[in-house]
Amino acid sequence: MEVHALTETEREQMLEQAFSKMKIERKHLSQEELEKEIIDYLGKKQACSLATCGKDGVPRISVVDYVNDGLTIYIFSEGGDKFKKLKENNTVAIGIGTSAQTFRSVRGINLWGIAEVFTEDTPEFAHGMKLFSHIINYKGYGEGNGYPYSNAKRNAEDDPGYSHEDDILSQQ
Cβ 70 vs Cβ 43: under 8 Å: no
- Hey, what's the torsion of the CAs at 111, 113, 136, 41, to 10 degrees? -20
In a domain, 29, yes or no: no
pLDDT one digit per residue (tens) for the chain, 172 residues? 788 888 999 999 999 999 899 888 888 899 999 999 999 999 888 889 999 998 888 999 999 889 999 998 888 777 788 888 888 999 999 999 887 777 777 788 998 999 988 888 989 988 988 888 877 764 444 444 333 333 333 333 433 443 444 444 444 4
In a domain, 1, yes or no: no
In a domain, 69, yes or no: yes
In SS3 terms, 16-73 reads as: HHHHHHCCCCCCCCCHHHHHHHHHHHHCCCCCEEEEEECCCCCEEEEEEEEEEECCEE
In a domain, 128, yes or no: yes
- CATH number of the domain that residue 84 is part of: 2.30.110.10
Q: Where does residue 12 fall: left (phi above 0), alpha (psi -120 to 50 degrees), or beta otherwise?
A: alpha
Rounded to 5 degrees, φ, ψ at 83 are -80, -30
In a domain, 129, yes or no: yes
Domain carrying residue 115: 38-171
- What's the pLDDT score for residue 65? 87
In a domain, 25, yes or no: no
- What's the pLDDT score for residue 59? 92
Cβ 115 vs Cβ 167: under 8 Å: no
In a domain, 12, yes or no: no
Cβ 93 vs Cβ 86: under 8 Å: no
- What's the pLDDT score for residue 86? 87
CA 116 – CA 118 distance, rounded (Å): 6
Q: Which residues does 124 contact at the CB level (< 8 Å), separation at least 6?
A: 116, 118, 168, 170
Taking the complete model, does pTM exceed 0.75, yes or no?
no
Query: What's the number of domains the chain is made of?
Result: 1
In a domain, 140, yes or no: yes
